[in-house]
Structure 1
């Protein structure tokens, strides 16, 4: 792929992710104009908005998978793996703000990938619990939901927080809470 075509594709995907997260009914023409390309350029690559959406989801899943791999969730010490995961996933969430739980039922392969990534994170949170990093009695699904919400808040409600500082806050909040002991 030519360098300018790659830049155009990246601009369309990133712009599409942002605009479709804000308004799922955003038109291809609007996405193209905001990305600085002709709408025909977008239509040559993506016949429909759904095809563009599927490409955005696939790109986010690729990025998320890399973050999970690089965090070494099964090998690294829990606090290290957790920090790596959070520090890596916050930029992914910011760049690709679409919620992958919105995957279209017509995309079973992408949905299967999303579920596999979710299972990997579930297994890691189970490890966090098994290794005693959570208070006794804290349900693992609750801890997972809290982790997801903390990451989402750090990524979107506090966009000026740099990923390392956001990861520090998320990890400390998950593992230690916000109250005094």
Structure 2
């Protein structure tokens, strides 16, 4: 694929992710206009909204996969891996804001990939608990849900906070809490 064509596809995917997150009924024409490309360009690559949405889901999953791999959730010390993960996943969440639940309902292949990625995070949080970094009286599933909510809050509730600072906050809050000891 030529460089300009690749840029156009990337612009369509990112714009599609943003607009479809804001309005699931957003049309291909609006996405094309916002991406700065001709509507025919969009339809040449993505014959339908569903095809575009499936490509957005795959792009989000590909990005998340890279973050999970680079975080080294199994090899690195928990706090280091957690920081790497959050610092990487916050921009992914911002760049690809489509709802994961919608993705899992609409695309069975994406659902399988997402479940595998989620399983990696589950095992990582269990590792943190096994190493004594999480309170023993807090269920591991609760800690995992808390991690997901903290990441979502950092990514979307505070969009001006940069990813390293968001990672500092999320790691500190997850491992130490917000209350005074």
C-alpha separation between the residues in 2 aligned to 1:92 and 1:151? 11
> Which residue does 1:36 correspond to in 2?
36
Q: What displacement does 1:100 show?
A: 2.0
Q: Is the 8 A contact 2:12 2:42 kept in 1?
A: yes
Output one character per residue of 1:124-149: Cα deviation in whole Å (capped at 9) or x when no partner: 01111111011111001100110000
Q: TM-score, normalised by structure 1?
A: 0.98
Indicate how the Cα distance of structure 1 residues 156 and 28 shifts in structure 2: closer, same or farther if over 3 A, else same. same
Q: What displacement does 1:107 show?
A: 2.4
Output one character per residue of 1:85-139: Cα deviation in whole Å (capped at 9) or x when no partner: 0000000000001122212545222110010000000110111111101111100
Moved runs in structure 1, 4+ residues, more than 2 A? 104-107
Indicate how the Cα distance of structure 1 residues 113 and 39 shifts in structure 2: closer, same or farther if over 3 A, else same. same
Q: Pairwise mapping of residues 110-149 of structure 1 onto structure 2 (< 5 A)?
A: 110-149=110-149
Q: Structure 1: which 5+ residue stretches go unaligned?
A: none
Q: TM-score, normalised by structure 2?
A: 0.98
Q: Pairwise mapping of residues 145-156 of structure 1 onto structure 2 (< 5 A)?
A: 145-156=145-156
Q: Structure 2: which 5+ residue stretches go unaligned?
A: none
Q: Pairwise mapping of residues 17-166 of structure 1 onto structure 2 (< 5 A)?
A: 17-103=17-103, 105=105, 107-166=107-166
Q: Is the 8 A contact 2:17 2:98 kept in 1?
A: yes
C-alpha separation between the residues in 1 aligned to 2:167 and 2:89? 9
Output one character per residue of 1:22-57: Cα deviation in whole Å (capped at 9) or x when no partner: 000000000000000111110011111010000000
SS in 1 for 2:9: helix
Q: What is the root-mean-square deviation of aligned Cα atoms in Å?
A: 0.9
Indicate how the Cα distance of structure 1 residues 29 and 104 shifts in structure 2: closer, same or farther if over 3 A, else same. farther
SS in 2 for 1:103: helix
Which stretch of structure 1 is more off in the superposition, 49-58 or 93-102?
A: 93-102
